[in-house]
Amino acid sequence: MARPVKKPPEQWRREILEAAKELFLSKGYEETAVTDIMERAGGAKGMFYRFFQTKEEVLHALGDQMFFENNPFEAVRGRSDLNGMQKIRQVLALDRADEEREKISAQAVPVLKDPRILAAAVEANRRVLTPLWFELIEEGRRDGSIRTAYAKELSELLPLVNFWLLPSVFPGDAEGIRHKCLFIAEVLSAMGLPIIEEGMYERTERILGSAPSAEKAHFGEIHSMEEKQSIDEVQSIEEVQSIEEVQSIEEVHSLEEEQPMKKKHSIEGGCSLEETHPMEERRL
């Protein structure tokens, strides 16, 4: 019987990631188990845990690997025919065109609800993307295509924008996300970096539209809460109106009760005056 072929650790890691990628793209992240990944990779389940603690960690590592395999910043770095601003717009266009990575990003939307995974993703974006953005913005400042005094601040802000748009991080509906995109476009334009186009919203909408059902259910919960709130507000208004109507009726009854009393007082007052007239005449 032939002994199993030994593989270097790095090869095992690459093959596990490749198996996970194929399964996530074909079956979906939620429908893929660790045993499925290792069956595709041709190894025992224990081998998986030599490299990754959880399936979520695999998804995060896979996103990093796919980015570096098709790094849009590297693709434009040597382009002498583009200025800094044009390079940034080309980076965004190449990023939107990477359909496989976009599908993996959609799988990651609900996973980012985990604070530990979210923190790791933010740190990775800060560490990797911030220097790359800063390099292009500074290049644009040197060639005159970008006029801003906030190169450092913009390079730190841009890697965080995607997290702000995700409803799993900041709850919101489709209209709210569109409004955020418009806000981002205005802020970046005011800071000298008019790079956001309609394609940004369309890509975000595609990612969220293809997110797993759990994330879509999250949208449904938001709408249900808003609808319930609207119903509660209507009921509250109706209750207030009913109370006001009751109060109005009570006021009418109170006025009707007061009028006979006033008439009685007037009659009694008249009698009193008639009684005082003779006394006044006598005093005179």
List, as one string, the DSSP characters of 44-64: -HHHHTTT-SSHHHHHHHHHH
Residue 208 has a pLDDT of 59
pLDDT greater at residue 266 or residue 136: 136
Mean of pLDDT over the chain:
77
Tokens 């601040």, located at residue = 153
- pLDDT-based confidence at 251, cuts 50/70/90? low
| Residue 189 tokens, joined | 């334009």
pLDDT-wise least confident of 68-77, 123-132, 263-272: 263-272
Residue 68 has a pLDDT of 92
Distance, CA of 24 to CA of 108 (rounded, Å): 10
Alpha helices in 27-114 (DSSP H): 34-41, 45-48, 55-69, 72-77, 84-97, 99-108
Helix 84-97 to helix 115-143 angle (10° resolution) is 150
Q: Which domains does the chain have, with CATH numbers?
A: 1-52 (1.10.10.60), 59-211 (1.10.357)
pLDDT-wise least confident of 7-16, 236-245, 260-269: 260-269
Residue 172 has a pLDDT of 83
The 8-class DSSP code of residue 196 comes to -
Instruction: Tell me if the pTM is above 0.75.
Output: no
| Residue 46 tokens, joined | 């224990």
69 residue type, one letter: E
pLDDT-wise least confident of 126-130, 172-176, 272-276: 272-276
pLDDT at residue 275 tops 80: no
Residue 226 has a pLDDT of 42
Residue 270 has a pLDDT of 41
Mean pLDDT of 110-127: 88
pLDDT cut 70: percent of the chain above it: 67
Residue 114 has a pLDDT of 83
pLDDT greater at residue 282 or residue 65: 65
Tell me if 76 sits within 8 A of 90, measured CB to CB.
Answer: yes
Residue 211 has a pLDDT of 52
Q: What is the pLDDT of residues 132-172, one digit of tens each?
A: 999 999 999 999 999 999 999 999 999 999 899 888 888 88
pLDDT greater at residue 63 or residue 227: 63
Tell me if 172 sits within 8 A of 222, measured CB to CB.
Answer: yes
Residue 92: count of CB within 10 angstroms of its CB: 17
| Residue 190 tokens, joined | 């005011």
pLDDT-wise least confident of 41-45, 51-55, 72-76, 104-108: 104-108
Nearest to 111 by CA among 203, 20, 11, 9: 20
pLDDT greater at residue 96 or residue 76: 76
Q: What is the pLDDT of residues 192-228, one digit of tens each?
A: 999 876 656 666 666 655 555 444 444 344 334 444 4
Tell me if 36 sits within 8 A of 48, measured CB to CB.
Answer: no
Tell me if 116 sits within 8 A of 54, measured CB to CB.
Answer: no
Mean pLDDT of 261-265: 44
Radius of gyration over alpha carbons of the chain, in Å? Answer: 35
pLDDT-wise least confident of 68-72, 244-248, 278-282: 278-282
Residue 26 has a pLDDT of 93
Mean pLDDT of 66-86: 95
